[in-house]
Chains A and B, each alone.
Chain A
Amino acid sequence: MNWIGRSLPRLEDPTLLKGGGSYVADRIGKAAAVRFVRSPVARGRILDIEIPSGAIVFTGKDLSDVKPIRSILHRPDYVAIGQPVLPVDRVVFSGQAVAVVVADDPALAEDIADQVFVDIDAVDAVIEVDLALIPGAEVVHPEAPSNVLVEGRMKTSGLDQAFADAAEIITLDLRSHRQSAAPMEGRAGLATYNTATGRVTLTASVQMPHMLRTGIADMLGIAESDLRVIAPDVGGGFGQKMSLFPEYIVLVWLARKLKRDVAWIEDRRENFLASAHGRDQAFTVRGAFSREGKLLGLDANLRSNVGAFSCYPVTCGVEPLMALAELPGPYDFSEYGALSRGVATNTCMMAPYRGVSRPMLTFTMERMMEVAAKRLGLDSIDIRRRNLIDAFPHRSPTGLVYDQGSYRQAMELALETIDLPAFRARQAAMRKQGRYLGQGLSVFSERTGYGTPAYAARGMEIVPGYEIVDCTMDPSGNVELRIGSSPHGQGLKTSLAQLVSDELGIEPDRIRVISGDTDATPYGWGTFASRSMVIAGGASKLAAGKIAVKLKTIAAHLMEADPESVTLKNGWAHISNSNKAMEIGALARAAYHQSYRFAGMSPGLHENAVYDPGGTFSNACHIAIVEVDVETGGVTIERFLVAEDAGVLINPMIVDGQIAGGVAQGIANALFEEVIYDETGNLLTASFADYLIPTSAEIPEIEIVHMETVSPESVTKAKGVGEGGAIGAPAAVINAIVDALSPFGVEIFELPATPQRIRDHLRRAGVSTHG
């Protein structure tokens, strides 16, 4: 055990730093350029598409043999919607691709696309989630006349009694506006056609290469073996690149149709218009509290705007069903009722985005605790102490089983680290100078690394969850680890190499991790949902463990010792209590070249393993300290602290990078980022000039302290950590703003708290400003 727990520099870095990264756009060579013509309106009937003469342009009519994307949930309350790769008769959101242009270079393709005239009879669109639910609202899809595509309900038997017994009932209306994952590299695909075999290779900037192959093969009606999907270096995804988009199906269709290589590199405007959004949610929640501040029951009406289509493969149930199942979060109460709906609108579709629903769920519960404390005259920390889960395994009112965690302890550690009494003194002193500082806290659970049972419970037609890993030690003692996971910036290759190093007793640089190629890796589900370290890590450890057993058996045989007495370390197999040792490379060579000597053992060192865990909950407490400028409504974050419990840290440096990165996106959610449509469905925020991603000037140093609760639910003892930062930060920042503005009695229930919104609150509270 000597590599796990080290902040090993990432094996991925040197190449990326020299400009040697290989992203899709770096690979297109002489491929023809593809440009999509997109609907300028949100809703309407396609009357005509005029194509300039001589141009290579295809429309939905040309692709009539391609099946629509149809993402399925087996639930009576789910309405499956077909998404045509290119629509023939009607458009349902602004930016929907309606035609595709192929030309010799991208500029020319763009010129031609501008000359394609799309005649659409535009009609009124429905954009806002609560407007879409009003009876008589415009209908996005005739199959769903109420606009509800999925609806989950539950109610425990004692909920009504809990409200009858309550000393205080808190009702909150909360709103999270729409966000985009906005990876620095947009979507991109290169489809190359092999004229000898007719096989197409799609190199694409995606998180789920195997799923993409399945989806495209299904829609085109071809065998999966006729398609290879490669995910090369991927410039961030954060969930946005895990769905099957029509553009990729069109690319493969074009390569087959034209028998030539074609490439599409999305521009930033397209990414905002037509990739995927998330977080557009409106919740109404009632909490029943006892006089002592114990949460007795919770009743919730949860609406998620899922846009115009249902993302494949996880469906538009991903936000609403996550909301239904996980609203209770880190709090221990038994009575719960909820109605959670996914509502169609004429907007870009919702797809998973780092955190999926949980930023809003955490925002909801943490605002609830703050308001309840105020209403009951309790300390806001004390009320959490009285409600946080403290016994394990814990069964939530929705039936989720939480493994060992440290909900209370992480909060106490965070409070201790931040030194709350000292802050309160400073806050009081600053207020006398007219400066408004505030401290805000959030506690949350992050469900990570869940296998097939969790997805099957949602009724998914396609049930992800497990990972298969192939591990081969070659005759020189070096290892190839082939994974179905598909990292895109998480440093997973380094972390997995560390895990496998400890299993096999060799240095990490002798381990090559191969991912993102359907020809070279076992079928897997890619990287999303904070799953790869837990699941691909678990399968890697198990597969390498099988090779370790063989190495030890060989060593014992060759050195005439008991296999139990063999340890693998620093490139050598040692026999304990002796001076006997052999190099692991020599054992590996023997496994291949002297296999006849090892009776009962298969030749070579090639093993695989599957891991399909039930899931494990990470937990954390975030504390933000902010200053609000009451003149401008601007917020400065002075300090941001994370007390994280993600189990055993395989590479602490990488873990901290994941946490800090998530916090940056969570701060963005709290203060800056908002995808805005006008009432006709025209996107107003289609550039980085309008959609404000935070920069180095807005994101403070993120302080991180760790706890390490070891869970039996993860074979590596690691828990997932990819999303927590984004989940906890919005609530902590808003609670801090509310604390800063407590002299004015401002309460905030809407994300993001932009300067304009904060100024509106202050104005309503009677705080004047100049001008």
Chain B
Amino acid sequence: MASKLSISLTVNGQTYGVLVEPRRTLADVLRDDCHLTGTHIGCEHGICGACTVLVDDKPVRSCLMFGVQAEGKAIRTVEGLADGETLHPLQRAFIEHDALQCGFCTPGQIMSAVALLSEGRAGSADEIREFMNGNLCRCGAYGNIVAAIAAVASPPDGR
């Protein structure tokens, strides 16, 4: 077995010190070492987007990044969105717009959407469709995902 490295990373504001093999991905570290299983692994080759997390506020496919590369970084995962029982506006919008079915791709969809909103690139439905095309949804809820993100980007009541 390869030797392990000790790294420290911050996930959802909490600091984790973990001992990991260099070959293990960030997705593995989050799921197995930090026990945050909300980040799902759908393809392990960087295409489906289910494992998307934010690394220093940028969306990253955690299956394409080694865990050791996250040393000292601030990671945000789907578990870090809700404030206790209060859901993040995107989580609420996903419920209202029926933007999920089986739920497996959903954490990745939401984390990509969080990045999209914070980068201010959710100007129109077309823009959202284009930006979100890195997150596959086999249940085919695309229209509703776009609608949910659009509703948070420009709330109908101007909130």
Contact = CB atoms under 8 A, between A and B. Distances in A.
Interface of A: 7, 9-10, 12-14, 16-23, 25-26, 107-108, 181-185, 233-236, 238, 267-268, 488-491, 653-654, 656-657, 660-665, 687-689, 693, 695-702, 725
A653 B98 contact: yes
Given A184-B50, A268-B44, A19 B105 contact: no
Interface stretch (B67-75, B87-95, B151-159): B87-95
Interface of B: 1, 21, 23-24, 31, 36-45, 47-48, 50, 77-79, 81-82, 87, 91, 94-96, 98, 100-107, 110, 128-130, 132-146
A51 B28 CA distance: 28
23 contacts: A9-B96, A13-B94, A13-B100, A14-B87, A17-B106, A19-B77, A19-B78, A21-B104, A657-B141, A657-B144, A661-B139, A661-B140, A687-B43, A687-B47, A688-B136, A693-B138, A695-B132, A696-B130, A696-B135, A696-B142, A696-B145, A697-B130, A699-B140
Contacts of B138: 181-184, 236, 238, 665, 693
Contact of A184 (B23, B44, B48, B91): B48
Contacts of B101: 236, 489-491, 657, 661
B103 A235 contact: yes
A18 B92 CA distance: 10
A19 B48 contact: no
A653 B96 CA distance: 10
Nearest to A695: B133
A693 B136 contact: yes
A19 B36 contact: yes
Given A185-B102, A695-B133, A696-B142, A19 B21 contact: no
A698 B142 CA distance: 10
A33 B104 CA distance: 22
Contacts of B42: 184-185, 235, 268
Contacts of B23: 107
Contacts of A183: 102, 104, 138
Contact of A660 (B39, B41, B136, B140): B140
B136 A184 contact: yes
Contacts of B106: 16-17, 21
A240 to B, nearest CB: 10
| A interface SS class | loop
For the complex of A and B, the 3 pairs showing the least CB-CB separation, nearest first, are A19-B38, A664-B140, A235-B104
Given A184-B42, A696-B145, 14 more contacts: A10-B98, A13-B100, A18-B87, A20-B38, A181-B138, A185-B40, A235-B104, A654-B98, A656-B98, A657-B101, A661-B101, A695-B132, A695-B133, A699-B140
A184 B107 CA distance: 12
A181 B40 CA distance: 19
A18 B44 contact: no
A636 to B, nearest CB: 12
A699 B142 CA distance: 7
Contacts of A693: 136, 138
A433 to B, nearest CB: 21
Contact of A25 (B37, B96, B98, B135): B37
Nearest to A701: B143
Contacts of A699: 140, 142-143
Contacts of B82: 18
A490 B137 CA distance: 14
Contacts of B103: 12-13, 16-17, 21, 233, 235, 489
B47 A236 contact: no
Given A661-B101, A695-B133, A107 B145 contact: no
Contacts of B81: 18
B1 to A, nearest CB: 7
Contacts of B110: 17
Nearest to B101: A489
Given A18-B82, A488-B102, A653-B98, A268 B43 contact: yes
A267 B41 CA distance: 9
A305 B84 CA distance: 52
B23 to A, nearest CB: 7
B95 A17 contact: yes
Contacts of B44: 267-268
Contacts of B24: 107
Contacts of B141: 657, 660-661
A10 B1 CA distance: 45
A696 B129 contact: yes
A700 B126 CA distance: 10
A236 B50 CA distance: 13
Contacts of B38: 18-21
Contacts of A696: 128-130, 132-133, 135, 137, 142, 145-146
Contacts of B132: 695-696
Contacts of B87: 14, 17-18
B94 A17 contact: yes
A23 B40 contact: yes
Given A18-B79, A184-B104, A697-B129, A660 B40 contact: no
A184 B140 contact: no
A654 B24 CA distance: 39
Contacts of B146: 696
Contact of A19 (B39, B45, B102): B39
B140 A665 contact: yes
Contacts of B136: 184, 688, 693, 695
Contact of B37 (A13, A19, A108, A491): A19
Contacts of B41: 25
A488 to B, nearest CB: 6
Contacts of A21: 38, 103-104, 106
B139 to A, nearest CB: 5
Contacts of B105: 184, 235
A458 B144 CA distance: 39
